[in-house]
Chain A
Amino acid sequence: MSDDRAPVVRLQHVVKTYHAGSVDVSAIRDISLDIPARRFSMIIGPSGSGKTTLLNLIGCIDAPTSGGIEVCGEDVGRLKDNVLADFRARNIGFIFQAFSLVPVLSAYENIEYPLLLVGMPAAERRRRTLAVLDAVGLQAQARQRPNELSGGQKQRVAIARALVKQPTIVLADEPTANLDSGTGAAIIALMRRMQAEQQTTFIFSTHDQQLMSHSEETFAIRDGALVAHEIPAATAEEAA
C-alpha cells in the first residue's frame, strides 16, 4: 500500500456496548478495519446491525467501550471534548439522512457555517461558499431557507456544507434514504463528482443498492460484527 493510500481511519478491536438499564447491548463487537484515503467506502448491513454506531465512532461523536480508533493519524480516544470538537470541525464532514440543516439559516449560511467554526477570514469564506454553492448547482437558492427547498436541494446543501471546509473525511449516514430514486441518483453522481474533484474520503452507511453499486470498498456488518470486506477488482487494480 503506497503512502497515498495510507488509512485515514483505523479501528483496532473496537467494542461498543450500550447499557439499557440492567441489560448490556453490544452494538459493535471487536471490529478492526482500515479505510484508505480518497476512497468511496460503504458500510452495509441490515437495520440494527451497527452501521450508524460504527459511523459515529469513526466520526468521533461517540466513544468506544474498548479498543482504539485512529482518524487522520490521531488517536481520537485520547482527545478531550473541546479538542475533539475542533478536530471534527477541521477534518470531518457529516451528511445526515434527514439533511439536518439549521432551519433558521439560508442555504448560503448553512454552507458557510462550518467555515466559521474553523475561524476562516470572511473573504475566503465567501469565496469558498460561493464556489461550492455553484458546484452543487444551488446558486439561485442561496438565500432560501431549508423549508423553501426540496428534499434533493436540501441534501445538496448538506453535501456542500460537508465539503466546503475540504475535510479529510466525509461521513454520510444513509444519504439517499429520504430521496426518490431519481434524486438519489443525482445526489450520488454529485458526491462522486465532488469526491473526484476534492479527493476526499467518503464513508457511507447504507443499504441503498444504487449507492452500493458505486462502492470502492465495502464493509459488511451484522449484529455488530464485521462479516465481510470487499474491494472490487477495479479498485484493487487501481490501488496496486
Chain B
Amino acid sequence: MMLFKIAFRNIMRNQRRSLMTGSAVAVGVMAMLVFGGYIAYIFSAFETGLVQRIGHLTVFRSGYFVFGAGNPAAYGIDDYQSVMRMIAEDPVLKPMIRVITPTQSLLGIAGNFSGGNNAAKTFLGTGVIPSNQQRMRQWNEYGVAPPEVPGPRLSDDAPQRGLIGGGMARILGLCPALKMQDCPAPPQTHDTTQAAPVDRNLTALAQSEIGSGEVKHITMPQLDLLSATANGAPNVVALDVAGVAVQGVKELDDNYVVMPLALAQQLVYGRGEHKATGIVLQLHRSEDLHAARARLRTLIAQHHLDLEVRDFAELTPFYVQVVRLFSAIFLFIALIMGVIVLFAVVNTMTMNVMERTNEIGTIRAMGVRRNGIRAQFVTEGWMLGAVAATVGVVLAFIVDAAINHSGLTWLPPGNATTVPFRLATPADRPLLLLGTWLGLVLLATFAALLPANRAARLPVVDALRHV
C-alpha cells in the first residue's frame, strides 16, 4: 500500500513532467485506437461489401479458380441443384447458411444496334437469381452497410432484364436512353469496314433467337449479347437494360453485365443442360467461415465431387492487399508510438532517479532492499502508463463519437459511391482496446525498469553523498 502511495505521490510531485509523459502515452493510445477503429471500420465495410456481392464461400468446379476465367462455360457444375440441396440440407451447414444461390459467369460481346447505334464490345457477365442477390445485399453483420440507394434492380419476374456498368453504357451509346448524367456520346468511327459484317451477323442471330419476327414492345434500351455456348456454337440473347450499376474499378465498369441466371444459362448452354459456374454461400456470421469451409470440403470428399471451395478473400486479392497494407500502416504507427512512449518514460524516470538519488540512499540505509527500489520506480512507471492509457481510451471514445456524428463521407477503395465516414469505437473492438491499453502500459513499465535498475544498483553511500 505504501508502495502505491509513494508512487502516486511522486507522479503528482512532478506534475508538469508527469503531464508531458502522460500526454505522450495518452496520445499514443488515442492515436492507435482511433486509427485502429478506422482500419477496423474499413475492414468491416470492405468485408460487408464483398459478402453482400459474392458471399462468404463459393463452390466451383475444380480448376475453375485457376483456369475458369478463360472459358467459364467449360467449368459448369453438373446437376448443380442437387449439389445445392445437399449443402442446404446438411445438418452442420444448415444453421450457418443465410443464402445459397447459383451463379453463372460468362464472356461475350454486347452490341447496341437500336436507334441507329452500331456499337459492340466484349463483356464480363454474371447470371444471378435476383431475389437471392437482393437478400444477400441485406447482410450487415457489423452494422456498417450504407443505406440502400434506390435504383434499378433485377427481378425474378423480368427474365430479360439486366444491369450494365457505367463504362459499358457509355461505350455502347446508352447514356441518353438510360438518362445518365455526365455521359459524353462516343465519338463517331469512320472505319466501319470490319464492324459491319459482325453487326449484320449479330442482328440476324438476335432476330433468329427472338424468333417471332414480331415487333417487341420495348420500354428500355436493349443489348444483344453474343457468346459461345459450352459446345462452342455462337448464341445470342437480348437483354433489356434496366439501368446502370456503376463499378468502382474502371476495367470492370467498362465490361460489367449482370442478368438473371436463366438468361445467362440460355446464352451459355442454349438448349443443353443448364449448369452453374458457382454455388455461392452467404453465412449468417463471418466467424463460421472456416467451419463451413471445412464442412463443405468434407461433403465434397464424401460424395466424390469434382468441386473446390474458395472464400471471398481468395476471390478478391485486392481485399487481402488492402488488409495487409492497412495492417502494416497500423503496425508502423504502433511502432512509432511505442518508441515515443518508451523514450518519454525512460527520460522521465531517469530524471526522477537523478532527483531522488539521495532519497534512494536514505531508504536503502533504512533497510529497503534493491528490489524494493526497483519496485518503487517500476510501480511509478506502470501507474503513470495506466492512468495515461486510460485517459487515452477516454479521448479515443470522444474523438470517435465526434467523427461518427460529423456526417463526413468518403469513397472506399473499389466503391463507386461515397459512404458515411465512421470509426469502429473501442467498445466495438475490445481486443484492440485491451491490446493497446495493455501494450502501452507494459511498455511504460518496461521503460521504467531501465532507470529503476540503475537506481537499485546505486551504492548506498554514493547515493547519500549525491547532491
Contact = CB atoms under 8 A, between A and B. Distances in A.
Interface in B361-389: 361-371
A105 B13 contact: no
B23 interface: no
Nearest to A117: B367
B464 interface: yes
A64 B212 CA distance: 118
B6 interface: yes
Contacts of B306: none
A62 interface: yes
Contacts of A59: 365
Given A82-B369, A96-B362, A100-B362, A61 B13 contact: no
Interface in A78-116: 81-82, 85-90, 92, 94, 96, 98, 100, 102-105, 109, 113-114, 116
A86 B13 contact: no
Interface string B149-181: 000000000000000000000000000000000
Contacts of A62: 459-461
A100 B359 contact: yes
Given A100-B359, A113-B366, A56 B461 contact: yes
B390 interface: no
Measured as residues with beta carbon below 8 angstroms from the partner, the interface class of chain A is 20 to 34
A31 B132 CA distance: 100
Interface in B1-36: 2, 5-6, 9-10, 13
Contacts of B9: 104-105
Measured as residues with beta carbon below 8 angstroms from the partner, the interface class of chain B is 20 to 34
Interface centre among A61, A103, A116 (most CB of B within 10 A): A61
Contacts of B370: 81-82, 85
Interface centre among A59, A96, A100 (most CB of B within 10 A): A100
Contact of A102 (B363, B367, B371, B460): B363
A90 B182 CA distance: 90
Contacts of A89: 366-368
Interface string A24-65: 000000000000000000000000000000001001011000
A183 B363 CA distance: 25
Nearest to A59: B365
B366 A88 contact: yes
A85 B365 CA distance: 7
A90 to B, nearest CB: 7
B15 to A, nearest CB: 13
A184 to B, nearest CB: 21
B140 interface: no
Contacts of B2: 109, 113, 116
A85 B369 contact: yes
B365 A88 contact: yes
B261 to A, nearest CB: 77
Given A89-B367, A102-B6, A113-B363, 5 more contacts: A85-B368, A100-B359, A100-B464, A104-B10, A109-B2
The 7 A-B residue pairs with the shortest CB-CB distance, nearest first, are: A89-B367, A104-B9, A61-B460, A100-B362, A88-B367, A85-B369, A117-B367
21 contacts: A61-B365, A62-B460, A81-B370, A82-B369, A82-B370, A86-B367, A86-B369, A89-B367, A92-B367, A94-B365, A100-B359, A100-B362, A102-B359, A103-B13, A103-B359, A104-B13, A105-B5, A109-B2, A116-B2, A117-B367, A117-B368
